[in-house]
Amino acid sequence: MMMPCFKQRTDKKRKEADLDCLLHRKSIEYRIRLLKYIKNARAGHTGGSLSCVDILNVLYNCVLNVSPETADDPRRDRYIQSKGHSVEALYVVLADRGFFPESDLETLCRFRSPYVGHPTRKIRGIEHNTGALGHGLAFGAGAALAGKMDGLGYRVFVLLGDGELAEGSNWESMMTAAHYGLDNLTAIVDRNQLQITGRTEEVCALESLVDKFAAFGWSVREVDGHDVTALRKVLSSVPFEVGRPSVVIAHTVKGKGVSFMENDAKWHHGVPSDEEYERAMEELRAQLEEAEP
């Protein structure tokens, strides 16, 4: 459906290796771009965007059956970013997929720009306005339920933050999704271990998350949330069980890709200084060179 096509290769394994190589490069490019727009706007949720961008990369380039042309098609797959604050990652991926010109992002967070600091439906490709936490899963469950009722084959993917899971509304929706057997619904937890105050386990312990989801009737998988190959495989194999909603706990690093931003809660919505920005770009450009095919 949306899989990029590689003409020279015939062998399936080689094709997949090429695809993963391309995805890997794309992730680095996305990091470069999202930092550029955050720097330009002097605002943004840097750490979380860097932690979830590989997930978004794989979803939009390999998994989701949606494109600018099919963004209103009732049969399209739906993506809902419940952790709305990581909108910069979503914006650069949607721009790359052609939902809007990337130059629009020059206006990010500017006066009267529709590109505000959390997702809104004013932007083509965005399904739901999010930002207040604990809302995306109920919405996704409703959309998934409608798909079941109408026999439309679409899937719904909801990205949750780990800190966000303290919102009780998530657990209400988990119960409902399991009750209705919504196997067309997949939640992905960006498990970067951090929230704005510090470590999730110190703020309000979440573990064991696997056991909690399983106890709520979900089929659970864990994955390295920066390994595009592993992400591609796990997200392409939903539902994990017929009749159950699926959850992927993606182990990630907040601030991933920029050494001094990694695993540091201060980059939750930190904006790099000129010097920090240059250092970040140097690191990312070096990664890009290393990733040359």
Which among 213, 233, 200, 186 has a CA at the least distance from the CA of 62?
A: 233
How far apart are alpha carbons 204 and 182 in whole angstroms? 28
What x/- string results for residues 95 through 124 when contact with another protein is judged by CB under 8 A? -------------------------xx---
Please count the residues of this chain forming the interface with another protein, following the rule CB under 8 A.
31
Going through the chain in order, the beta strands assigned E by DSSP cover: 78-81, 156-161, 185-191, 194-195, 198-199, 219-224, 246-251
Backbone angles phi, psi at 125, to 5 degrees: 100, -15
Q: How far apart are CA 12 and CA 25, in angstroms?
A: 20
Tell me which stretch binds Mg ion (CB under 5 A): 130-138, 150-158, 186-194, 241-249.
186-194
Tell the smallest beta-carbon distance from residue 30 to another protein (Å): 26
- Per rule CB under 5 A, count of chain residues that contact Mg ion: 6
Q: Give least dist CB 45 to Mg ion, A.
A: 10
198: left (phi over 0), alpha (psi -120 to 50) or beta: left
Choices 22-30, 101-109, 110-118, 185-193 (CB under 5 A): range interacting with Mg ion? 185-193
Query: By CB under 8 A, is residue 169 in contact with another protein?
Result: yes
Query: Could you tell me if 94 and 35 are in contact, meaning their C-beta atoms sit under 8 angstroms apart?
Result: no
163 binds, among Mg ion, another protein, none (CB under 5 to 8 A by kind): Mg ion
Among 35, 62, 94, 144, binds another protein (CB under 8 A): 144
Residues at the interface with Mg ion (CB under 5 A):
161-163, 192, 194-195
